[in-house]
A and B are shown apart, each in its own frame.
Chain A
Amino acid sequence: MGKLKRSIVVTSGKGGVGKTTITANVGTALALLNYQVVLVDADVGLRNLDLILGLENRIVFDLSDVIENRCRSYKQALIKDKRVGNLFLLPAPQTKQKEDIPLDKFKELIEEIKQEFDFVIIDCPAGIEHGFKMSAKAAEEAIVVTTPDLSSIRDADRVIANLEAMGKNSTKLIINRMKKHMVKKSQMLSIEDILETLNIELLGIIPDDEYITISTNNGEPVVLNKTKPLYKYFNNIANRLVDPSIPIENPFNEGNIFQKFASLVGLKKTKY
C-alpha cells in the first residue's frame, strides 16, 4: 500500500493550550490505526514531547544532529515507541536556540521523512516567530489548537491569518479543554462563538479531563488506555484526519444549533 505522505503542523500561537499533548495523543491514535507516524518536536530549547510520550531516556541524536549531519540519516535519530510499533519521535535539541535551525534545511528534512511515512506531525513552539515559521512552512497542512478563552482565540486568529498569508487555506481547528458544566450555564464561550470568530473547519473537540495530567506525568498517552473517556475524542480526531466525512465526537450533544454552525463553516452534513 502506498504511503499517505502527509505533513501536518500543530500550532496555536498561545502557549499552554495543549499542542504537545494533542500531538502526542493524535499521533499515537493514528499509529494505533496502523499508520506509520513520525512526531517531530520543533520546540527547540524547550522540548517536551519526549516526556509526554515517555521516551525521554532514549534520546541519542536529535533534530540538530540530523540537520548538522552528525548522524548518518534522520532514521538514526528516530526513536521507536515500544508500546506502539509504528510510532516514531524525532526529538528537539535541548541545548540549542530556535534560530539555530535554518528554515530551508528543516523543510527539506520534513519532505525527506514524509516520503517514507503516512503522517509527519510537527509539534510547533508557541509564538509566531522563527520556530512557528519554520514549522508552518515545512508542513503542507495545519491544525490550530485553541481553548475557549478569549486570549487563546485571538492568538489562534492571528496564527490562522499568518497561515493564510503563507497560502495555507485548509487549516483545521481543535477546541481543547471544553468544560461541560460551564458551557451549559453559558459561563464559557460556546463552540458556535469560537467558530464564528475563527471561521475555519472544525476537526474535533476535546473536553476537560483531569486524567490528562496523570497521563502526561506518567509519560503514557491517554489513547493507550481505551477505558478512559478521552480515548474516543482523540481517536475521533485521528479518524477524521483520514476521512473528514466521519462525524465529530461531540461531548455536548448540542443537536441542531451545532449542525447549523457546522454548515456555516463548510462542513458536510453529518449527524452529531
Chain B
Amino acid sequence: MILKQEKGKIIIKIDKIEENEIRNKLQEYINKGLKEIVENNQVILDLGDLGLNESEFKSILKIFNSFSLPIDIIRNTNPITKMISINYGIPVDAPSVINTQNKLIPQTTVNNDKNSSIGSDSKLGNKIVENTLNQDILIYRRNIRSGSLLESEKTILVVGNVNSGAEVRSARNIIVLGKLMGTAHAGYPNNNSSIIFTLKLKNPIIKIANMVAEFDENEIKKQLQSKEISNILFYQDNNSIRMEIIKEQKE
C-alpha cells in the first residue's frame, strides 16, 4: 500500500487484497496524522487493475469505515470492480479524467436509509452511499467474458451475454437479457426460491441453491419441435430444477 499526496488529493494505492496488511498500514498512517490531512482533501482509492468481487470490495470498504475514513473516488480499470463500485455509490474515474477535469466528478449524496443493503452490517462514513436506484438489483451492461466471476448478494441483471467459461452467482435471482452460455448460480448458497431467466441459451450450467440441473438442449428442442428456444425461466420445485418457456401473452 502506497500513500501519495497531490494537489487537494490523497491517493491511497492498494496493489494486494491483504486485509490485515491494509488495516495495519492504515493504522500506521493514521498515527502519523492522516485524518487531519483527509479533512480538506479528496480521498482517492487507487485499485489499479485489481479485480475485486463484491465481498472483497465490501471488506475493503469496511476497513476504511472502521477508521471512519471516507472514500470519494475509486480508480480501477477492471470492469466488474468498477460496476460494483458504482453500485455502492462510489464514483469511478480513469486517472486522466481526474487529473484534468475535476468538474466531471459526480457528487455523492448523503443517504441515511438504514435498510440500505450494506448499511445493516456496517456503518459507513456518510460519504459512502448506496445508489438508491440500484438498491436490490445489480445491473451489468456488457458481455461477461470467460474466466470472469460476477458475484453479488443482490439480484443480478445482465444486459449482454454470459460467455462460455464465465460465471454469475447471486444470493437472489439472475436475469440475463442476452445469451447464457456459461454458468448461472442463483440463490447461492441456499435460497431455493430464486429464479434464473434468460432470453437465449447455449449449453449453460444452471444451479439454484444447492442443486445443479442437467440440461439437454437437443432433447428440449425435440419436445418443443422448434429450432430455437428462448425466454426461459428456471426455478426450483419439489427438490428439482424446473424449466418453463415464457410465451408471449396475447391480449
Contacts and interface: CB of A to CB of B under 8 A. Distances in A.
Contacts of B78: 164-165
A137 to B, nearest CB: 9
A222 to B, nearest CB: 31
Interface stretch (A4-12, A153-161, A206-214, A253-261): A153-161
Contact of B145 (A158, A166, A167): A158
B77 A157 contact: no
A157 B49 contact: no
A167 B165 CA distance: 21
Given A166-B49, A199-B143, A161 B148 contact: yes
B94 to A, nearest CB: 7
A261 to B, nearest CB: 14
A199 B144 CA distance: 11
B163 interface: yes
Given A165-B51, A167-B49, A154 B143 contact: no
B51 A154 contact: no
Interface of B: 49, 51, 77-79, 94, 143, 145-148, 161, 163-166, 181
A158 B146 contact: yes
Contacts of A155: 146
A133 to B, nearest CB: 10
B202 to A, nearest CB: 10
A interface secondary structure, majority: helix
Given A157-B166, A158-B165, A197-B161, 5 more contacts: A154-B146, A157-B163, A157-B164, A158-B145, A167-B94
A157 B161 contact: no
Contacts of B164: 150, 154, 157, 197
A199 B163 CA distance: 11
5 contacts: A154-B146, A161-B145, A165-B49, A165-B79, A167-B77
A197 to B, nearest CB: 6
A12 to B, nearest CB: 13
A46 B147 CA distance: 26
